[in-house]
Structure 1
């Protein structure tokens, strides 16, 4: 019963009943959550059978676009996407719309896909010379846009002069796309599309939102982009792939929890910055240029696997974001990482874990393998590493920091650079003597399984200890079959 209906009812009653009704009315007014507890609405979106002329309140009257559903939605509502097999080619933007701590706004993706692609009008291609065509744009979107042919990214040249057959060059200053076709072909033969939308799931000062079972792909900037005063954001069972910049990224001082995600084939798989706070559990990141980049804020990676990154698996660095008040005095902006039960598989890349510019990392029960350098800590940074294995890296670790703790670790033979002194593979004891670190650590043959578990050699001295190396349980992911 609404308060004003109650007031009308009270006017018709006796004095005793009137007093009771007035007290009830006051109680309802000071407890508005009781009045609104049934007000949450579910808005249905279907890009195949829906229409933006519908009311959106049932599956049969679903709207066609996410943007229309968001204009209809109110605080703490539910957005229900139909997975029609057709990507939703739009940005999901929440600006100053969300929920409460006790009742968040919910986005149920049901496995649907957000796509930043737009088809290229073949009639607008202009021939420059044999095989070379140019496409004029009104403007170039923010980020790192690129061309796509039949769902596959087309290789991108660094300059027009370096353009090779089958590649494209995006002239951002001139707002033009150049494409060099194979002999005898024209752009129309490639079914070209471009990443002309900036970001997918996008929040601007929107708090207490749960988004689950959603894929965000082919945006020029980020798949999941969180800006401003965003508290209590939660992503569950999401995929971020083939985005020009970040798969997932949170900025300013926002708070984010990610539970079970797959981020692949972006530039940065994850890039969290400023004074943000993020917690990642059960994340698989692979084939990104940099798997995880953290530049400011506090971040936790637990039961995660970062692998096959082109440059680095994890790179963290302190920051001084000028747009945040007092950032230069805020220790949170210096970047803190807690990594537990994490496996980093480098496949020959530059670095497994890089700690720079005053950042702090705590690494426990983790594995770093197959990078040129396993762990790098610069002179301004802090690292606490224990019960961790660094395997098959040419440079096991490189540190010029005096503020570290290394012990109860296990290394395969490799070089160690300590305070600019280089220790060769057979000089581990010399390194221990000089550094006073790793006094309870071991060097010897070691293998790590694809599940992240370290396989100890039979009869190894370390098997007598009670602690384990690497993750305490096999890494599992429900997304390993996703490979578009």
Structure 2
């Protein structure tokens, strides 16, 4: 009810009701956000010229920190970050704050960077012995923290006994960092920083949020971390790099859409778990330990390129998350992946696509290339693969699954391990006869363009697989790669 309508209503009432209505009118005028709930505010943040003493309602009166802007913000508002060239060294935490399906909360990053780094106080380094120094911490942050020197990660030893020159060892139980300097140097000469903040964009039970044009780097845990009842979350044109655990991760039963992202040099590029639902379009993931890890939930990868991962490009596995009600009976927790027009370039790593522990994958019009094993399906899992090329892998296919479907595919010569029977290169026809699979598939030389698209060999035009395989459009990232 608008104030003037309320005033007209008050005139028609008794004296006692008139007093009540007048008090209500005064309260509404003092609290205009109640009168016009559809109005959303924009809060400006500038870590160079802003001040947290400002009101934040214009560029000229911007606040200095994201955390201050969030305390000022309300439902369906907008945060406008100035890209000053200086990283915002803080976590962007949303807790029970968001928008609605028709009016999402918007974070406009404008290319700004969130950083989890904190400078190490050189005066607190203690000498253990010649060249070896220790830094005491109040506590170790969650995740996989590490040291950074001039923007580059310092190699990390697995134990103090294995520490080599130029490496560090993070003693998590003792809350200490050990660093073995080069001969004749001390820690102060390295300009050391540490990943002492846990995650970048962090959502906890916050729904209908759009975040775009933002980078998250050097956090001990995740760049983009989504927990709890989070629905309708969308990331657009984001970068997640150099994080101790995941570049992007959604948990519980939340929903996430990612459109155009570059995730690189994390442990997991993407790791979505529990009964979460995620859709990735146009994502480039590279130089992670594992490109994409999916452990529970439904997930879609379309027009994505996953490459140069140290261990596996994509690994999916069924799960039984004990903290979710009825997880053992929930088929969503078994993990379902739909992959279409995807390229997985292994460059000699362990596996292109691994399907384990009761998981299901549907893969179409995609490319798996240059891994030791192209596709692995265990006996409890299921894979439906068609119109897909597996190229230059020692083992094209390793499947113990009794129910999978493979047909209308393209393979370069390599061995196949089907139901624990090994078919060597040149025995493809024997594999087809034994498995009853791939009867319409082809073997022979194939070429992959740098953009991840396969050039089908002459003569394939007449097959049912007359479709371009790999991303439907070349992956041409507009992002600037920093510290590759």
> What TM-score bracket applies, with the shorter chain setting the length?
over 0.9
Deviations 1:361-394 (A, max 9, x none): 0000000000000000000000000000000000
| Shift >6 Å, 4+ stretches | none
Distance 1:123 1:75 in 2: 44
Distance 1:36 1:345 in 2: 53
Aligned pairs for 1:411-426 within 5 A: 411-426=411-426
When residues 33 and 341 of structure 1 are mapped into structure 2, their CA distance, relative to the original with a 3 A threshold, is farther
Distance 1:431 1:58 in 2: 68
Give the secondary-structure state (helix, strand or coil) at the position aligned to 1:299: strand
Matched, 1:71 2:71: yes
CA-based RMSD: 1.8
Q: Is the 8 A contact 1:348 1:370 kept in 2?
A: yes
Distance 2:10 2:358 in 1: 69
Matched, 1:464 2:468: no
Q: Any stretches of 5+ residues in structure 1 without a counterpart? A: 15-28
Distance 1:387 1:11 in 2: 72
With the length of structure 2 as denominator, give the TM-score of the two structures. 0.94
When residues 125 and 101 of structure 1 are mapped into structure 2, their CA distance, relative to the original with a 3 A threshold, is same
Give the secondary-structure state (helix, strand or coil) at the position aligned to 2:429: helix
When residues 38 and 205 of structure 1 are mapped into structure 2, their CA distance, relative to the original with a 3 A threshold, is closer
- Paired residues in the alignment total 466
Distance 1:195 1:339 in 2: 33
Distance 1:239 1:5 in 2: 49
Per-residue deviation, 1:93 = 0.2
Aligned to 2:279: 279
Give the secondary-structure state (helix, strand or coil) at the position aligned to 2:259: strand
Distance 1:88 1:324 in 2: 35
Q: Is the 8 A contact 2:351 2:376 kept in 1?
A: yes
Matched, 1:7 2:6: yes
Q: Any stretches of 5+ residues in structure 2 without a counterpart? A: 14-27
Q: Is the 8 A contact 2:343 2:471 kept in 1?
A: no
Q: Is the 8 A contact 1:388 1:469 kept in 2?
A: no
Per-residue deviation, 1:352 = 0.1
Per-residue deviation, 1:251 = 0.1
Aligned to 2:391: 391
Deviations 1:85-127 (A, max 9, x none): 0000000000000000110000000000000000000000000
Matched, 1:220 2:220: yes
Per-residue deviation, 1:235 = 0.2
Per-residue deviation, 1:453 = 1.1
Deviations 1:3-62 (A, max 9, x none): 334211455699xxxxxxxxxxxxxx9xx9995365200000000000000000000000
Per-residue deviation, 1:447 = 1.1
Aligned pairs for 1:5-404 within 5 A: 5-11=4-10, 36=36, 38-404=38-404
When residues 179 and 362 of structure 1 are mapped into structure 2, their CA distance, relative to the original with a 3 A threshold, is same
Aligned to 2:475: 476
Aligned to 1:26: none
